[in-house]
Structure 1
C-alpha cells in the first residue's frame, strides 16, 4: 500500500488487514475474565463471554457476589499454574484487539476452561457452539455463575449502556 493510501485509509477509519497471524506467546496479564495482555498486545478470548468486573451474580444461597471479578481472579490462577500462554490469532475485533484461542504451556485450552469452569459462557454468536458441551457440563455441575441466577454478560452490558443486546 502506498503511503498516501495508508494515510487515507487511516483518516477514513478503514480497517486494515491484521498485522500477523503469528501466535502471541508470553506471560499473560489478566485484564478481565475474557481479556488478556501479553507483551503489550490486548487479546480478547474468542467465542467466550465472561461477566463484567462490575457484574453481580446470585450465589445460590440468596446472596450475590461480583462474578466478573471472580472470573478474572480464577483465570489468573489458572494461567499461573502453567506458563507461558500462547494465543492463536483468529481475527481483530472492532476495538482492534487480537481475538484468539489461547493455551497454557501444558496445552490446556484457556477459552474452553473458562466455560467449563463456569467463569464464562459459550458466546455462540462467535464460537458457533464450539464450547456448548463445556457450558452444559458447567451448568450440570452448578459451577461458577451456574450456581445461582445471573444475567448473560452481553445483556448486562447492553442494559448498562441502555441499548438493545446484541447476543
Structure 2
C-alpha cells in the first residue's frame, strides 16, 4: 500500500471509528422521511422502526390535527445534523430498499426516533426497541402526546 493510500485510510478510520464492512454505508445522509434516508444515491430504510408517513396527520391531546409525519422527518434531520451516518445492512425490503441499522456518533437512529416518540417499534425481531417505545408512550413524547394511527395501518388505508 502506498504511503498516500495508508494516510487516507488512517484519516478515514479516524473520522469514522466504526469498522465498515463491504456492503455497508457511511456518509452524509439526505432525509427522505422519518424512517428512510439516502446515502450516495441509495435509499436506506431504518430497521426495527416505523415512522408516520410524510402526509400522515396525528392529533394532539386537544384533538387538533398536526403533521406528525413531517415532524418525524424534521426530527430525524435535526438528529443527523449533516454528520456522517454509519449503516449496517440487514437485508432488503419488498420494494428493493436496503434495510439497515444506522447510527450517528455511535447513537442508533431507530432507537432515538422511537425513544423520542417519532416512531414505533416495527418488525423488530431482535426486540431492540420495545422498551424505548414503552418509555415514549409513558412520557407522552411526540406522537404519543395525543392519538395517531399506526403508520402501517395508515398506509393500508391511504
TM-score bucket (shorter structure): 0.7 to 0.9
Once the two structures are superposed, residues 118-160 of structure 1 have per-residue CA deviations (whole angstroms, 9 ceiling, x without a partner) of 000001x344432000001100110000000100000000111
1:31-110 equivalences under 5 Å are: 31-80=32-81, 83-104=83-104, 106-110=105-109
What residue is the counterpart of 2:10 in the other structure?
none
Equivalent pair of 1:47/1:126 in contact (CA under 8 Å): yes
What residue is the counterpart of 2:115 in the other structure?
116
Structure 1 residue 59: deviation in Å?
Answer: 1.3
Gaps of 5+ in 1: 1-19, 161-167
* Counterpart Cα distance in 1 of 2:125 and 2:31: 21
Q: Secondary structure at the match of 1:36?
A: strand
Q: Which runs of 4+ in 1 moved over 2 A?
A: 125-129
Compute the TM-score of the two structures, normalised by the length of structure 1.
0.79
Number of matched residues? 138
What residue is the counterpart of 1:129 in the other structure?
127
What residue is the counterpart of 2:141 in the other structure?
143
